[in-house]
Structure 1
Amino acid sequence: MKISTKGRYGLTIMIELAKQFGEGPIPLKSIAQAHELSEHYLEQLIAPLRNAGLVKSMRGAYGGYLLAKEPTNITAGDVIRILEGPISPVEVLDDEEPAKRELWIRIRDAVKEVLDSTTLEDLASYTDGDQDAYMFYI
């Protein structure tokens, strides 16, 4: 399974909103500029996140987006599933050899475990150079 820019940039948006949680709405333009990303592309990604109830939008001069839930209650898996679809490296077929089927299932479950046990708060608290910060491997 390869996570596309949809998933990667979607996580970028969500991590930025988690870092500034409780400080009011954040304009997508500021996230796009900070990460040198297309604001138009981020607008396309925020819509499914809003429709899924992970973010809220606020209109007006001081508008923008904010998390709809606490950062501890949103996982990387939530974001990836909304933007990328089901998490599976391959489609497991019933007629596949048992050993290979078991391998694919174990890989899928390991990826799910990492994504579902990593919250936005975990990701927002990570800073470069912080020796005590989380390190995530898949």
Structure 2
Amino acid sequence: MRMSTKSRFAVQAMIDLALRERSGPVALAQVATRQGVSLSYLEQLFSRLRRAGLVESTRGPGGGYTLGRRPADISAADIVSAVEDEVHETGADAERMQLTRELWADLDAVLLRHLATVPLQQLAEEQRAKGVEVDHAAPRRMVEPAPAVRPLRSTAPNSVFAFGQSFAGRG
């Protein structure tokens, strides 16, 4: 395993969702703006998070992402494992790394064990304790269709002849 900016951004985005879980689905564009990350990068991360069952997506107007499980049931290790790729050295790199491979494997195991003890709920609560502003906007609603427009009814004459007859008193 390898810890990278993918892990950091994924954890930040998941904290963002956890802070706003009562507001319904959160648009990824809003998360990208708040976190200062490109939307396309977040889409890639959320694709992996969705495959791991950590988030669920809702399509259409009023759609977005919600947590796939309760925040107490998602660990930081779950998030990191979902977005990080296994690194396998090949060729000359593999030979050089043989000497330290066990050290890094042990470090990875210790790191994952620690991250497994850190629930997403705890991370979100720490952010609230630090005073992070959470805008609990009302859940977005589906777009309602415009009311039907009734055709106008007119009592005016509908032709030149009918108009003339209205002056003649016939009509």
TM range (shorter): 0.7 to 0.9
Tell me the equivalent position of 1:14: 14
1:30–1:44 distance in 2 versus 1, CA, 3 Å: same
Tell me: CA distance 1:7–1:105, structure 2 relative to 1, closer, same or farther (3 Å).
closer
Report the TM-score when normalising by structure 2.
Answer: 0.62
1-structure distance, mates of 2:68, 2:129 = 30
Distance 2:48 2:14 in 1: 12
Structure 2, unaligned stretches of length 5 or more?
88-97, 131-171
Letter matched to residue 40 of structure 2 = H
In structure 1, C-alpha distance between the alignment counterparts of 2:79 and 2:16, rounded to whole Å: 13
Contact 1:10 1:83 in 2 (8 A): yes
Amino acid in the other structure paired with 2:79: V
C-alpha contact (below 8 Å) 1:54/1:67 kept by paired residues:
yes
1:70 Cα deviation after fit: 0.2
In the alignment, is the contact (CA less than 8 A) between 1:21 and 1:71 conserved in 2?
no
Counterpart for residue 65 of structure 1: 65
Count of residues in Structure 1 that have an aligned counterpart in Structure 2: 123
Could you list the runs of 5+ residues in structure 1 that have no partner in the other structure? Answer: 88-95, 131-138
Q: 1:55 to 1:128 in 2, by over 3 A?
A: closer
- Matched residues, percent identical? 36
TM-superposed deviation, 1:108 = 3.1
SS in 1 for 2:15: helix
Larger radius of gyration: 2
Structure 1 residue 121 corresponds to structure 2 residue 121: yes
SS at match of 2:57: strand
Runs of 4 or more above 4 Å deviation: 103-106
Partner of 2:80: 80
